Copies of this chain bind each other. A is one copy, B any other.
């Protein structure tokens, strides 16, 4: 059904294009992906952030501009957690792993009395919150590896359609930022290939990226483990997720992952934390027109306010320390204030 409706949408878009042609609209207007006069970023307040995006697209798609980028080379990369959707107070993928522990223990009862599984099974939130990184790693390995790729996809797909954020009581997939969806659409309409470059699991994000962000699985770069090819007893080949890390797609791992998976330097990159610093630096180090943007979580009322740049205590996720703010100013990165730049945060707000 999903595909049928996509086809229908594509057909409608084609009809609209033909209509515009019949009305004598110019081809450049089509290339911009919006009728003249229609705001491609309606959830953005007027200001430096919105203008930076509009200027970047104009500069790189206008053939008479010295900063024109040929369509085949247009690449934009987006961090996910805290940049495209809510990641506070805990990454949704960590919630997934914690939620999977009972099923893992059911298959391996010997883990029942072994830490950190014992603590997770206890349901004691305070104790769970105090688990060390090493404990968390054990949970990630136990819940994300050792099964076939198909089984993992089925489990993660089922979870993501019902798991809800504790504060908003909404599906995680509803807690995407409407202004960023508009940027994704706007860039794609202007010939950009949009990639997610996430510290989260590549296989996890691929489960919903197309439906939620319009980003197909092959355009998701994330933390990735090895898989192992093998055969089922009936001879059918399949892949098993192995506990061997190939790419830690965070910090310096982001440009390394971009090289591995894309092989081109992005023209534009969007992030929100120190995990995105190297990706933004790498993006800006190329020639021609470049755009680097950082989402600042400064909206305690509509989402969250965190990070020492706002005089708040540092947190484990989405840190935006003063040093990053300083680098942004020095390097010409644009900071997006959720509070001031975004008219609307979520698609469900009207």
> Which chain B residue has the least Cβ–Cβ distance from A260?
B224
Q: Collect the chain B residues with CB atoms within 8 Å of residue A193's CB.
A: 218
Interface residues on A, range: 35 or more
**CA of A6 to CA of B63 in the docked complex: distance in angstroms?**
12
Number of copies of chain A assembled together: 2
Chain A 206-247, CB-CB to B under 8 Å as 1, else 0, gives 100010000011101000101111000000111100000011
Does B229 lie within 8 Å of A256, measured CB to CB? yes
Q: Collect the chain B residues with CB atoms within 8 Å of residue A285's CB.
A: 236-238
Does A263 lie within 8 Å of B228, measured CB to CB? no
Does B217 lie within 8 Å of A262, measured CB to CB? yes
Does B229 lie within 8 Å of A263, measured CB to CB? no
Contacts A63-B7, A203-B263 hold; do A256 and B239 have CB atoms under 8 A apart? Answer: yes
Chief secondary structure at chain A's binding surface: helix
Does A210 lie within 8 Å of B259, measured CB to CB? no
Can you show 7 pairs from A to B with CB atoms below 8 A apart? A6-B72, A149-B259, A202-B263, A203-B263, A229-B253, A237-B255, A239-B282
List 12 additional contacts besides A7-B63, A10-B71; criterion CB under 8 Å: A3-B70, A75-B218, A202-B260, A202-B263, A206-B263, A218-B261, A218-B263, A218-B264, A227-B256, A237-B282, A237-B285, A246-B246
